[in-house]
Amino acid sequence: MKTFLSWLGSVVLSVSAIAADATSVGAPGTPSAVTLQALVDRAAQQTVEKFSGIGLKADELAVTLVDLTDPAASAQASFRGSEPIYPASVVKLFYLVAAHRWLEDGRLTDTPELRRALSDMVVESYNEATHYVVDVLTGTTSGPELPETELAVWQEKRGAVNRYFRGLGYTGINADKKPWCEGPYGREVQVIRASKPDRNQLTTDATARLLAEIATGTAVSAKRCAEMRELLVRDIHGAVKDPEDQTHGFTGIALKEIPGSKVWSKAGWTSQTRHDAAYVELADGRKFVLVTFTTGHADERGIIPAVARTVIAGLRR
């Protein structure tokens, strides 16, 4: 089974690089995995210390960093990266990739309505659009309660996205529930009561792997990955219409300070969680994926950019 580390391919483990500089990364190029780990650990520690006044604890933060400056020799590091966490709208990345995989394989028909739903799901993060996408991916619909035997058939169909990603070696994930603002009701509640886990779950490691595959054109086909990136692009240097939107309210807060930076991202937030998954390109040629999940401090806008600032400062040294 393909693990996150084996997917990354050639990971350099140069102890001599650590001896030369244990806390920073040099000019653009791929740092060692151990050096990258020191950077992620430092970013997590400094962020927890900075926000200790609001009670931020280490077990309320998870971070994964993947350096893609040289995709042929990528390195990754994480802090609590394998911890399953409720992902909020970040799970929509998995539905996006699944939809393009189904389209590529001829399992879905490419229609204007499907494209509208994919765009609204990712660009606007609309839950209603996501409900439609989940329905067409799995052949299930929400509705009244079902008898036990029918519910079992329905539940098996709803697991299609999970089976696909687990077949690729993804672990620590559950992507078989619709995101809701109000609700759920009926059979959606039935399956929640019958399921373990009873909510969607992602790890920052799994999310970073998927976003890195989108960034490098390997999640489906190069053409389809380019189409996905079009939905994920964020104009962080443009006018701010809503300071809480996906562009300006998450990793983009830190990137706006850096001329020439570009970002493709998917954020997620609820009353309890605040997450961001970002692919970043800097003007110096550095490329990386940074996924940060936070729990218990959803109203604090500064935690995610604080992680990003430390990571970027370390990568740019």
Tokens, residue 255: 């990137």
Candidate CATH numbers 1.10.150, 3.30.70, 3.40.710, 2.30.30; the one for domain 4-85+203-316: 3.40.710
DSSP tag of 30: P
Whether the CB-CB separation of 254 and 305 falls below 8 Å is answered with: yes
**Amino acid 178: pLDDT:** 97
Name the β-bridge partners of 295: 273
Q: How many residues in total does the chain contain?
A: 317
Place 31 in a pLDDT band, splitting at 50, 70 and 90: confident
**Long-range contact set of residues 310-313: C-beta below 8 Å, sequence gap at least 24:** 310/39, 310/42, 310/43, 310/46, 310/47, 311/39, 311/40, 311/43, 311/65, 312/254, 312/255, 312/258, 312/280, 312/282
* Start-end of CATH 3.40.710 domains in the chain: 4-85+203-316
Q: What is the pLDDT of residues 282-315, one digit of tens each?
A: 999 999 999 999 999 999 999 999 999 999 999 9
Place 71 in a pLDDT band, splitting at 50, 70 and 90: confident
Least confident of 46-60, 67-81, 260-274: 67-81
Q: Tell me the pTM.
A: 0.90
Residue 266 has pLDDT above 60, yes or no: yes
Residue 217 has pLDDT above 60, yes or no: yes
Task: Report the SS3 class of residue 265.
Answer: strand
Least confident of 17-26, 31-40, 164-173: 17-26
